[in-house]
């Protein structure tokens, strides 16, 4: 049975996303299949008024959910590192939660350390190690760009691995 997972790396300026399709094999001798459906970013201009930036996120998330119709959404939990940035990211996460509630899509959340642990085996992996793991696990020819899109795929894969 196919399961679609949409991974989100929330941000106000850049929201990374990755959509994957997962097929769990009923035969233990056959590996599960995970394929990339799409990945990319939703960007909002820094000079744009805050409300307009949130509307852009809202509308683009609606488009993603309508198009991919995920069975589950996986979200990176908010990580506090710069107070000014934290508030903006929290506002973007609020938009994400609103859209998910409107579509009644279940979601799970993972900390950055949980994502790193799931993909590399240790919670203090650097960004490049995570990107290499995403590339390897999804049989891609190159590391997905931009970084935020690779992060979206990493979040989606974490949900699949933690099922």
Q: Which residue out of 2, 9, 32, 129 is catalytically annotated? A: 9
76, 126, 137, 141: which is the annotated catalytic residue? 76
Any catalytic annotation for residue 9?
yes
- Give the C-alpha separation, 77 to 61, whole Å: 17
Any catalytic annotation for residue 141? no
Q: How far apart are CA 67 and CA 162, in angstroms?
A: 25
Pick the closest to residue 42 from 67, 72, 77, 22 (CA basis). Answer: 67
CB 126 within 8 A of CB 17: no
Is 60 among the catalytic positions?
Answer: no
Please tell me which residue in 27, 49, 141, 148 is annotated as part of the active site: 148
Residue with tokens 């035969």: 27
d(CA 91, CA 102): 17
Residue 144 CB coordination number (10 Å): 22
Residues annotated as catalytic are 9, 76, 148
């Amino acid at each position: 049975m196919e399961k679609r997972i949409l991974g989100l790396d929330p941000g106000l300026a850049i929201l990374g996303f990755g959509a994957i399709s997962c097929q769990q094999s009923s035969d233990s001798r056959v590996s599960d299949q995970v394929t990339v459906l799409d990945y990319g970013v939703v960007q909002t201009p820094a000079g744009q008024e805050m409300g307009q930036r949130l509307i852009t996120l809202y509308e683009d998330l609606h488009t993603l959910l309508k198009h991919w119709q995920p069975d589950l959404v996986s979200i990176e939990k908010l990580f506090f590192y710069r107070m000014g940035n934290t508030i903006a990211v929290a506002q973007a996460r609020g938009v994400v939660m609103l859209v998910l509630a409107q579509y009644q899509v279940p979601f799970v959340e993972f900390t950055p350390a949980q994502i790193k642990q799931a993909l590399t085996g240790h919670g203090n992996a650097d960004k490049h190690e995570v990107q290499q793991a995403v590339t390897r696990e999804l049989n891609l020819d190159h590391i997905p760009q931009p970084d935020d899109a690779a992060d979206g795929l990493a979040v989606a894969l974490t949900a699949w691995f933690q099922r």
